[in-house]
Amino acid sequence: MANKNRLLLDNLFDVLVFVRVSETGNFTSAAEKLQISRSAAGKCIQRLENRVSTRLLHRTTRQIRLSEEGERFYLHAKRILSEVDDAENALYEGQQTPSGTLRIDLPVVFGRRYVLPVLQDFTAQWADVEIDVSFSDDYCDLVQEGIDVAIRIGGNDDSRLVRKVLAPHRLITCASPDYLARKGTPETPDELAAHECLVFCHLGRRVGWQFSRDKQIISLPVTGRMRLGDTGAILDAALAGNGICQIGAFLAGPLIAQGKLIPLLNPFSAPGEPVCAVYPSKQFLPPKVRQFLTLLETRWQGKAIWDY
């Protein structure tokens, strides 16, 4: 079996030339069909016969006819070439129509609220695609874990990945109307020192708040009695009137639109990291990934649909 496979891989064009010569009955016509010279066609046949150690064609000045071994080889060669054509057609169709399993990694809350509805419509549109979704706010190794595409808020430090910006995003400083009625409204970031700030901790470290000052982005350390390691918990605490928070627009925006939170320090608001799709390779992007990203772009139109 190994020798036969090697014959197919190393001499596939020679096999094609043999089939065309057998079907046309002469080297000239076969060479014209394959757009090669007559001598090149003759060398292909000679090389193939040397490889199989068998005369496949009987040649005379008047005609070419198959030997008994050549007739048997012709039948197998036709089947081989037909299977190659089928393989190419299957590959081409697979490159045009989304199919298979789309493995995607999403941020927990953002993914559930804004990406999962698009994914549900995607599966309704493409019946041959299955979806395997993981939810995590930590960056995973896409290459090692076999992830086709991830949606992330922020940059990408992995040189192996392609980054495609989908929509802008920002952090919003806000508090409930109840808290502001009791404690007052800060007018500058420096005034936050006199307020209860709901501090987000990541991997045991307090995360500073981002502001724009004199056209520069600054990270301001904030303090407060409540330090929480989950943005959802921070949001709940802010809604309950426990303090001021700085959270993503995808969390704060709808609540600000409903009047449940009040945005603060807008003149000092800093542009945040955009929402991006990251994937392992730009070349030969699978149709399932390409069509999913196209659907996201169509729905979002490059805009932060979650902002107020």
In percent, how much of the chain has pLDDT > 70? 92
- Per-residue pLDDT at 248 exceeds 90: yes
Is 244 domain-assigned?
A: yes
53 and 72 share one domain: yes
Count how many domains the chain has: 3
Last residue of one domain, picked from the residues 43, 61, 89: 89
Higher-pLDDT residue of 27 and 281 is: 27
81 and 155 share one domain: no
> What residues does 100 pair with on adjacent strands?
129
55 and 110 share one domain: no
Higher-pLDDT residue of 162 and 62 is: 162
Distance CA 183, CA 194 (A): 9
196 and 264 share one domain: yes
- Per-residue pLDDT at 303 exceeds 60: yes
Four-residue CA torsion sign, 179, 181, 184, 186:
positive
176 and 152 share one domain: no
Check which CATH number belongs to the domain holding 43 and give it.
Answer: 1.10.10.10
Question: CB of 228 within 8 A of CB of 200?
Answer: yes
Distance CA 153, CA 169 (A): 8
179 and 212 share one domain: yes
Give CA angle at 103 (102, 107), nearest 5°. Answer: 125
Beta strands 262-264 and 129-135: pairing type? unpaired
231 and 207 share one domain: yes
Is 5 domain-assigned?
A: no
Is 79 domain-assigned?
A: yes
Give pLDDT, residue 52: 86
Mean pLDDT of the chain: 88
Distance CA 174, CA 180 (A): 10
Give pLDDT, residue 155: 64
Give pLDDT, residue 2: 45
Is 6 domain-assigned?
A: no
**Does the reported pTM lie above 0.75?**
no
143 and 286 share one domain: yes
User: pLDDT for 141-173, tens place per residue?
Assistant: 888 888 999 999 986 667 778 889 999 999 999
Is 305 domain-assigned?
A: no
In percent, how much of the chain has pLDDT > 90? 55
Amino acid at 231: T
User: pLDDT for 79-124, tens place per residue?
Assistant: 888 888 777 766 665 557 888 999 999 999 999 999 999 999 999 9
Q: How confident is the model at residue 288 (pLDDT cuts 50, 70, 90)?
A: very high
Mean pLDDT of 236-256: 96
Q: How confident is the model at residue 196 (pLDDT cuts 50, 70, 90)?
A: very high
176 and 164 share one domain: no
User: pLDDT for 218-235, tens place per residue?
Assistant: 999 999 999 999 899 999
148 and 285 share one domain: yes
Is 100 domain-assigned?
A: yes
160 and 179 share one domain: no
Mean pLDDT of 68-81: 88
Domain that holds residue 224: 171-268
Is 41 domain-assigned?
A: yes
Check which CATH number belongs to the domain holding 112 and give it.
Answer: 3.40.190.10
259 and 222 share one domain: yes
Is 307 domain-assigned?
A: no
User: pLDDT for 2-53, tens place per residue?
Assistant: 455 455 555 788 989 988 998 888 888 888 988 999 999 889 989 988 888 8
